[in-house]
Structure 1
Amino acid sequence: MAVLGVQMMMLKEQVADQGMFAVLQRLADLDLHAVEVSQIPMDEANTADLERGVAELGVQVGALSVALTPGPVVTGDNLAEHFDKIVSDCRRLGTRYVRIGMMPFTAMASKQACEAWAAECEEAAQRLAAEGITLCYHNHHVDLAQFDGERIFDIVRRVAPSLFFEVDLHWVQRGGMAPLAMLERYAGVCKLIHVKDFRVTPLPADAIEKMAAGDFAAGFQAFLNLAQFAEVGQGNMDWPALLPAAERAGAEFLFIEQDDTYGRDPFDCIADSRAYLASIGY
């Protein structure tokens, strides 16, 4: 069975305030013993705490987040400048996967730009594979956009066959592809999974008030934006079918993630997600 864990992006403020090890202890209390580290500095203090978590709490560091190259929105390590450090961190923590969280916005703009970026990924993936590390790419809804009838997903896979996928099932759903169909299509390539629910909220009263007052455009805009990220089990995703399908597709880690908790304590959201997943056998 794939290992269940947490995407630590959800807890970056808690790590900054309380320290990495204290956060890992709280996750262990929720019966969560694997993490993916993203949007958190891999400095010596955090890396040492992760190493301590591995030794004392039995934590698995399932994946580390990296960028391909430096850029204006890149906050962590990148493979162009920090390759040796990334490999060293993986060996220190027993981590076999690193993941790219998003392609640059410029690579989304055309087929040629996407192919050029994917070619860089292929080179990096081969270089990491020689070190025993697998590079994965995390999708968003934009990866279901098409150029000349070919999805970005397929362009990336065609140009970078050594690159595996971290499938965010929420973003697949939001992109208009059935998540079950996606997992079947890319079976064998899906090593990491983001377990994130998709919720549609009721139409808020202020949207109706805007329409009644004559501002139909503003009210209708609210109608078009009812989708939310949700605690697992509190949305519309079919997890009893999706998680076994993810495992059949090759998933080794399932990471709970919720991009926005809408004012709730993220630990409470994670606890709710964990309780639901336990209720269906995970």
Structure 2
Amino acid sequence: MMTKMKVGLQLYTLRDELERDFEQTLQRVAELGYEGVEFAGYYGYGPEQLRELMDRLSLKTVSTHVNVNRLRHHLDEELAMSAALGNLFAVCPGIAASERMPLPEAAAFFEACGERFAEQGITFGFHNHWIEFTETHEGDRWFDAFFGLISPDYLKSELDVCWVAHGGCDPVEYIRKYAGRVPLIHLKDMRKSPAGEVETVELGRGDMDLPAVLEAAEAAGTEWLIVEQDDCAGPALESVRISREWLRERGY
């Protein structure tokens, strides 16, 4: 029997609200029915403060986004922070242009980081954007070549389905292709402007076939659906409420 996927929120969605009132915003996230969160910065809070707050709100710290610079120069600090928070995962949010390296070098670097996190019982992951699906390496999409060089024991995918689609690929196909290696899904909806620009919207209000994504994710063994909306046209807390309700109506 498959374990029911849990619902978390990438806190980047609420970055402005968190700056204004960190604790009240997290309390509202819990009240809306999110079971966990993924951090993208700690807003000046230390691990003990955060752990106490998260425990009080009954929110799980699912993951933290850790960029390449932090992985390269402050890995021990990030390992300690993730362990103190009780993170299940630590995820690199992508490779910035200033941090790009040859693919074999990138693969070796990420595998080494994954080994270090695994020693702490934390699963290391990589979050994609669209460029990993538009660029190629020796005839393969960059994403496939990259993951093909790294042991599944040391790198999992946090598949952002919106960016897979924007990169010209089918997210359902990729979830199936990497079944067992996609414990986290960034669940995101979008519309495209006539000029091809992406507008992120609340779940169910865009052009993504999200029911098919959910079905594929269940079958692939995904553990957490992480809601993210990069930009919200209205109040961000209202957007995350709408998205949470959309998932609740579908049994999550």
The alignment partner of 2:9 has SS state of strand
| Matched residue, 1:134 | 123
User: Equivalents in 2 of 1:90, 1:24: separation in Å?
Assistant: 18
Letter in 2 for 1:270: V
Instruction: Report Cα offsets for 1:219-248 as digits up to 9, x if no partner.
Output: xxxx32353111101012222221131132
User: Is the 1:107–1:114 Cα contact (8 Å) retained in structure 2?
Assistant: no
- 1:16 equivalent among 14, 19, 22: 19
- Compute the displacement of 1:48 (Å): 4.0
| Matched residue, 1:154 | 144
| Matched residue, 2:237 | 267
Q: Does 1:236 align with 2:214?
A: no
User: Is the 2:200–2:230 Cα contact (8 Å) retained in structure 1?
Assistant: yes
Query: Under a length normalisation based on structure 2, what TM-score does the superposition of the two structures give?
Result: 0.91
User: Equivalents in 1 of 2:231, 2:54: separation in Å?
Assistant: 28
Q: Does 1:193 align with 2:190?
A: no
User: Is the 2:125–2:158 Cα contact (8 Å) retained in structure 1?
Assistant: yes
| Matched residue, 1:166 | 158
User: Is the 2:83–2:120 Cα contact (8 Å) retained in structure 1?
Assistant: no
Q: Does 1:65 align with 2:65?
A: yes
Distance change >3 Å, CA 53–CA 2, structure 1 → 2 = farther
| Matched residue, 1:125 | 114
For the pair shown, the structure with the greater C-alpha radius of gyration is: 1
User: Equivalents in 2 of 1:146, 1:91: separation in Å?
Assistant: 35
| Matched residue, 1:175 | 167
- Compute the displacement of 1:104 (Å): 3.0
User: Is the 1:107–1:117 Cα contact (8 Å) retained in structure 2?
Assistant: no
The alignment partner of 1:121 has SS state of helix
User: Equivalents in 2 of 1:140, 1:86: separation in Å?
Assistant: 23
Percent identity between the two aligned chains: 30
| Matched residue, 1:7 | 10
The alignment partner of 1:135 has SS state of strand
| Matched residue, 2:96 | 104
Distance change >3 Å, CA 49–CA 268, structure 1 → 2 = farther
User: Is the 2:19–2:43 Cα contact (8 Å) retained in structure 1?
Assistant: no
Query: Under a length normalisation based on structure 1, what TM-score does the superposition of the two structures give?
Result: 0.81
The alignment partner of 1:190 has SS state of coil
Distance change >3 Å, CA 142–CA 88, structure 1 → 2 = same
User: In the comparison of the two structures, how many residue pairs are matched?
Assistant: 246
Distance change >3 Å, CA 120–CA 29, structure 1 → 2 = same
Ranges in structure 2 where 5+ consecutive residues have no aligned partner? none
Letter in 2 for 1:99: V
The alignment partner of 1:193 has SS state of strand
- Structure number with higher relative contact order (C-alpha < 8 Å, ≥ 6 residues apart): 2
